[in-house]
Structure 1
Amino acid sequence: MSRTQIGVRMRDSFWFLPAVYSVLALVGVSIVNGLDTWLIPLVEGSVPSFFFMEKSAAQSMYGSLITSLLTMTTISFSTIMVVLTTYTTQFSPRTLQDFMKSNITKHVLGVFSYGFVFTLVNLLLLGSEGDKQFIAPFLTVVVAIISLGFFILFIHHSSRFVQVNKLIGKIRTDASALIENTFRTKSYTEAAEWNEEEIQEWQQHAVYSVKSKHSGYLQGVDTANLLAFAKKHDILLAASFQMGDYIQKGAPVFYYWKKEREEGEEEELEDCTNYIMIGNERTDVQDIEFSIQKLVEIAVKAISTGINDPHTAVNCINRIGSLLADLGAVYEPIRYYADEDENLRFMMEPKKFEDYLYMSFYQVRLYGKKDLTVMDSVLESLYKIAIVHHGEVKEDTWTFAEYIIESTNVEEMHELDFKRFYETCKKLADECGKDLPFENVRQGSA
């Protein structure tokens, strides 16, 4: 397992930070009790007596603090369950990841774990030797006060996180960061086009396949190490997947060409699967489509008859349009990856910008086509994408806009509804330099 895979699993593990804090608590207890044993004989005569605590009083205080910390921890876990239930029923099951991987949530439970372990072990270490403690009780009180502060922070964090607008804003911010990171300059070479002669030269040799060892969703590709692997073995790899695809165990995930394959090398070359991350669910580590999908699911659920909240859907649509505009500004159909010597080592078919457009709005169109507010906001978002882009991105935007316009039944619209819808369509068509589809313009309208 690569360091990237380990890092991702640690990041998404709910137990990792609390476990680290618990270990730190044990270290802290050892240091504090050692200082108490060494320091009390030196300072007992020069420090006011109220700074010292009898062991019987310390024992009573530790017991009370342990109960208080357990209570705060129990309330925090109960709050987490309420938030998760709300996310599942009101928003989308996919949004659970956003709350569970929140640093505040993990650090709060880590601080509670630290406080509980620190206090409990201090209580256990209270012995019969000596009558007083100096540092341990004082620091235990400090830890308890800090835990109380984190408890208040967590309640504030949870109350804000359960608000749909806060959640939508966070998903949009994280997705923007993902888009920027995906298309930033890398240490290796990425290209949308490559020398066809070099590719054909590789493909003259025998092609071999590498099959998946696991089933699950493709969560990420460790491209840098994969290129180093391909360079080491002097091969050209071609992926049979795209980011976010479900991969079946035993199905080919890579094809590769090698000029001369040595006997017994086949098993070693199958290790290239160590550089792809496959899991039981999609994540937003490298998957831009999944990040947008979470907003789509919130929008679709908001316009369902059970919830009937079109304004939340409009909010999601606006954020999706903003993300697509960000994507269009940096998007490149990167399919070729080369090592530091500019030798082609890896090929993977990219997702097209039109695919992102379709994935973002087709479900919204399907379930919201009878709601003018929703359809008008989709066209307004497409207009805002078109107004800041040119060339192929604008052409893809208009092609998808035609799909939205043609799937809307304007014949059943009231005159006032149609006027509003027509104005938005006309504005978008003028920006793209196109004519509106004739079948969607009623006689005598406009």
Structure 2
Amino acid sequence: MKNTTFWTTARDSFWFLPVVYGVCSIIAAGVITTLDVWLVPKASDSIPNILLTGQSIAKQLYAALITAMLTMTTISFSTIMVMLTTYSSQFSPRALQDFMQSKITQHVLGVYTFGFLFVLINLWLLTETNQQDLLSPFFTVIITMISLGFFILFIHFSARWAQVNFLIGVIRNKTSALISETFVERTYGEHQHWEPSQIDTIKEKDRQTIYARQSGYIQQVYYNYLINWASVNNMVLESTFQVGDYVPKGMPVFHLWTLGDKNDNLPEHDDFLVIGDERTDLQDIGFSIGKLVEIAVKALSPSMNDPNTAINCIHRIGGLLSELADHYYPVTYFSDKNGDLRFIMEQENFRDYLFLSFYQIKHYGKDDISVIYSMVDTLYKVAIVSEAAIQKEVWNFTQYILEAVDSRNLSAMEYQHLKDITEKFAHFCGEEWDWEVAEG
């Protein structure tokens, strides 16, 4: 499991794909050089002249191409630095993960690495003593043309990512996929309730504890491996955290009870979960939604003063909450394939997602009636597509948002606009709402 964690971390890192491309470039250069040494002298008469290049021309060509590769790489890295600055100052530092971990970004730099090393190695292997025609310059030109195509793709790609609406859409789509993955049907059992007497019987046994060996954020939990391990060892585990929580070193992360013979060989937490220095969107829905919240809050700052971007984020958050309401069910207990309880973990309540989604926007946007109206309207639409229990949660949270509104300072039209949507919302939920009563 630790190897799996290492390879997952390496695969998602920024340097992994360029290193893979670099290794492939060295191998490709070796293969092409072998063809120049062994195949070309024997079959030069059968190879079209357009594919063969003399030593002097090859040297000039390599010198020009390696300069071109360096130029494209430099411009691309400069573009990346501009994007980093833009994201940090205007959008959200957390959104940098999405751009830097994008496969297009990493593949483009990987292609540059491949092309630069390929040209450099071929130039290094070029000798003055050997005056035979070469096949390698032809492949070098092809690779450079491919690199040029990726350079154009990267410029287009970066221009799109610099647009806040595109970034918001990317985050929304990734979060939507994460929601679907989180609540997909599993091979193990998921339960909202469990027999209290069984829980009490289990917790009467001697409790053992697994402690965090490092400080950091809970990034991922290996549910399948954890439940299978508990089943094999006839144990029940209970987590003291939720995905996305920060745990200091030495904090208990799991309590466990042995239902059979006591097992003193406790595993380390690395076998069951990943703790890292920053939050990620591997399993953390709240963190993904939080990126949109940060973009909205940044747009509402006096330096930006861009309420339309904030409203766009509110609409996208509403769409995610609607999907979450459609899939959401509060799972606390996890059983193995035999139906025996193996894992206990408290999950986020839907009202927690509501609070996370809007409490900061409400705080910083309470003086902008367009922002308040958009939040109320978005929550109304979430309630429409949700079941009764969720509707009640949404309506209660809407009242919390409306507490920030001083209706006495609104113009008549603003007051009527907000009053209409609020009363329509209340009527849909079977509730009563009166501004005068609410304001006391």
Note the C-alpha offset of 1:33: 1.3
Give the 3 Å change call, closer, same or farther, for CA 88–363 of structure 1 in structure 2: same
CA distance in 2, matches of 1:50, 1:402: 76
Task: Tell me if the contact between 2:54 and 2:134 (Cα under 8 Å) persists in the aligned partners.
Answer: no
What is the TM-score normalised by the length of structure 2?
Answer: 0.96
Task: Tell me if the contact between 1:405 and 1:440 (Cα under 8 Å) persists in the aligned partners.
Answer: no
Task: Tell me if the contact between 2:236 and 2:259 (Cα under 8 Å) persists in the aligned partners.
Answer: no
1:53 match: secondary structure = coil
CA distance in 2, matches of 1:308, 1:69: 41
Superposition pairs of residues 224-303 of structure 1, within 5 angstroms: 224-259=224-259, 262=262, 265-266=263-264, 268-303=265-300
CA distance in 2, matches of 1:48, 1:351: 67
Partner of 2:423: 426
Partner of 1:415: 412
CA distance in 1, matches of 2:267, 2:178: 29
AA aligned opposite 1:401? T
**2:332 maps to 1:335:** yes
**2:62 maps to 1:65:** no
Range with greater deviation from structure 2 (123-132 or 80-89)? 123-132
Unaligned stretches of 5+ residues in structure 2: none
Superposition pairs of residues 44-193 of structure 1, within 5 angstroms: 44-128=44-128, 130-193=130-193
Unaligned stretches of 5+ residues in structure 1: none
Give the 3 Å change call, closer, same or farther, for CA 50–171 of structure 1 in structure 2: closer
**2:203 maps to 1:203:** yes
Task: Tell me if the contact between 1:168 and 1:295 (Cα under 8 Å) persists in the aligned partners.
Answer: yes
CA distance in 2, matches of 1:419, 1:284: 40
AA aligned opposite 1:349? E
> Which residue of the other structure, out of 371, 375, 383, is the alignment partner of 1:374?
371
2:387 match: secondary structure = coil
Superposition pairs of residues 313-392 of structure 1, within 5 angstroms: 313-392=310-389
The C-alpha deviation readout for 1:330-383, integer Å capped at 9, x for no partner, is 001011111222221111000000100011001111111110000000001101
CA distance in 1, matches of 2:47, 2:303: 67
CA distance in 1, matches of 2:439, 2:399: 16
Partner of 2:302: 305
Range with greater deviation from structure 2 (398-407 or 110-119)? 398-407
Note the C-alpha offset of 1:49: 3.3
AA aligned opposite 1:381? T
The C-alpha deviation readout for 1:92-142, integer Å capped at 9, x for no partner, is 111110100000000000000000011111111113454234431111000
Note the C-alpha offset of 1:48: 4.2
CA distance in 2, matches of 1:277, 1:380: 38
What is the TM-score normalised by the length of structure 1?
Answer: 0.95
CA distance in 2, matches of 1:362, 1:369: 10
AA aligned opposite 1:185? E
CA distance in 2, matches of 1:322, 1:348: 27
CA distance in 2, matches of 1:11, 1:233: 32
CA distance in 1, matches of 2:141, 2:26: 17
AA aligned opposite 1:68? A
1:132 match: secondary structure = coil
Note the C-alpha offset of 1:254: 0.7
The C-alpha deviation readout for 1:160-190, integer Å capped at 9, x for no partner, is 0010000000000000000000000112221
CA distance in 2, matches of 1:392, 1:163: 38
Note the C-alpha offset of 1:440: 6.0
Task: Tell me if the contact between 1:406 and 1:437 (Cα under 8 Å) persists in the aligned partners.
Answer: no
Give the 3 Å change call, closer, same or farther, for CA 337–4 of structure 1 in structure 2: farther
AA aligned opposite 1:190? E
CA distance in 1, matches of 2:127, 2:203: 76
Aligned Cα RMSD in Å?
Answer: 1.7
CA distance in 2, matches of 1:51, 1:419: 77
Note the C-alpha offset of 1:196: 2.9
Give the 3 Å change call, closer, same or farther, for CA 4–322 of structure 1 in structure 2: farther
Task: Tell me if the contact between 2:210 and 2:255 (Cα under 8 Å) persists in the aligned partners.
Answer: yes
CA distance in 2, matches of 1:376, 1:5: 45
Give the 3 Å change call, closer, same or farther, for CA 58–171 of structure 1 in structure 2: same
2:268 match: secondary structure = helix
Task: Tell me if the contact between 1:4 and 1:222 (Cα under 8 Å) persists in the aligned partners.
Answer: no
Give the 3 Å change call, closer, same or farther, for CA 130–320 of structure 1 in structure 2: same
Give the 3 Å change call, closer, same or farther, for CA 273–46 of structure 1 in structure 2: closer
Percent identity over the alignment is: 45
Range with greater deviation from structure 2 (201-210 or 149-158)? 201-210
AA aligned opposite 1:199? I
**2:433 maps to 1:436:** yes
Task: Tell me if the contact between 2:212 and 2:251 (Cα under 8 Å) persists in the aligned partners.
Answer: yes
AA aligned opposite 2:237? L
Task: Tell me if the contact between 1:239 and 1:254 (Cα under 8 Å) persists in the aligned partners.
Answer: yes
AA aligned opposite 2:199? I
AA aligned opposite 1:311? N
2:330 match: secondary structure = coil
AA aligned opposite 1:195? E
CA distance in 2, matches of 1:139, 1:77: 25
AA aligned opposite 1:166? F
